[in-house]
């Protein structure tokens, strides 16, 4: 029984890691612009729930070692930064407005 549960968990993790496009928002809780755009990000996250996109947030003030590796790999120097990460590893930084409608247009 436990083996089947473990297999399902591993399968779900694999699907999440390899089939979905990730939209990563790098932020700091002390950044006024990050705080001001939080509501629009939440709207975008709700939209993305039923799409091929998975939203991820990385707090630069409290990043785990894995998150630190991502921050270094993509040379994140300022916040808020939003980036699209394809399953093949290619990444695109977003340079537009930080509102929900603009984000949806960008990923569509």
In the predicted model, is pLDDT for residue 95 greater than 90?
yes
pLDDT at 6: 77
Do the Cβ atoms of 24 and 79 come closer than 8 Å?
no
Q: Which domains does the chain have, with CATH numbers?
A: 18-107 (3.40.30.10)
pLDDT at 12: 67
Average pLDDT over residues 52-79: 93
Residue 85 pLDDT class (50, 70, 90 cuts)? very high
In the predicted model, is pLDDT for residue 78 greater than 80?
yes
pLDDT at 63: 94
What's this model's pTM, rounded to 2 decimal places? 0.81
């Amino acid at each position: 029984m436990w083996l089947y549960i473990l297999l399902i968990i591993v399968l779900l993790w694999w699907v999440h890691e390899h089939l979905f496009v990730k939209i990563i928002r790098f932020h700091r809780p002390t950044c006024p612009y990050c705080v001001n755009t939080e509501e629009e990000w939440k709207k975008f996250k709700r939209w993305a729930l039923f799409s091929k996109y998975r939203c991820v947030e990385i707090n630069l003030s409290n990043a785990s070692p894995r998150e630190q590796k991502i921050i270094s790999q993509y040379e994140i120097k300022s916040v808020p930064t939003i980036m699209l990460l394809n399953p093949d590893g290619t990444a695109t930084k977003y340079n537009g407005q930080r509102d929900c409608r603009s984000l949806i247009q960008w990923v569509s």
